[in-house]
Amino acid sequence: MSQDPTEHAEETSLLELVCRREGSPLTVQRRAVFESVSTRTDHPTAVQVHEDVQRRLPGVSRMTVYRALAWLVRLGVVAKVHHPDGVARFDPQTKRHDHIVCLRCGRLLDLSSPAFEALELPDIHPLGFRVTDYTVLLRGTCPHCQQASAAPRGAEAQARPRSGPNGRG
């Protein structure tokens, strides 16, 4: 996709920094996994990241990708988000933010809206919980699926585009 290596230069050095701090070696595989996640904006699944990495580093096993992702999440460099479909997805955005998901194709996107940034949740302690964090999930229909929904009947049954890797409802 992007030909400019300097684009992710600072992120990569962040990765190195974190590695030093943890005393963990920064391997080629981990770097590739991080590159994949931080390049994409569509919250890829572990399998999708694996495909991505494979393209650059043939031979990398799925296990390595799973472990690298878990490691990145543990270091706080990557966020694990839970898709309604149940499969884990990964997000380079680690700051608190919200998501929007298309109920037809399952596409999940970050919600970057000033209005949402400004949103202030009531500061409550429901049932004695100590609330540390929150996230809003919007559900709806993406532009592409809005057009598609006009065409066929029984739209709910299909709604399974090749590029949308989401299984069950």
Interaction site with DNA (CB under 7 A): 19, 24-30, 45-47, 57, 59-64, 66-68, 70-71, 86-88, 165, 167-169
Phi and psi dihedrals of 82, rounded to 5?
A: -105, 120
Cβ-based burial of 139 (10 A; exposed 0-12, middle 13-18, buried ≥19): exposed
Q: Tell me the closest approach of the beta carbon of residue 25 to its own copies, in angstroms.
A: 21
Do the bridges between strand 108-111 and strand 88-91 make them parallel or antiparallel, or are there none, so unpaired?
Answer: unpaired
Q: Which tokens go with 165?
A: 């890797």
Smallest distance, DNA to C-beta of residue 70, A: 6
For DNA, the closer of residues 55 and 131 by Cβ is: 55
Question: β-strand 79-82 against 88-91: which pairing, if any?
Answer: antiparallel
The CA distance from 81 to 53, in Å, is 20
Interaction site with its own copies (CB under 8 A): 80, 82-88, 100, 102-103, 109, 111-113, 115-116, 119, 121-122, 124, 126-143, 146, 169
92 binds, among its own copies, DNA, none (CB under 5 to 8 A by kind): none
66 or 109, CB closer to DNA? Answer: 66
In one-letter notation, the amino acid at residue 14 is: L
Task: Kindly tell me which of 56 and 139 has the beta carbon lying closer to DNA.
Answer: 56
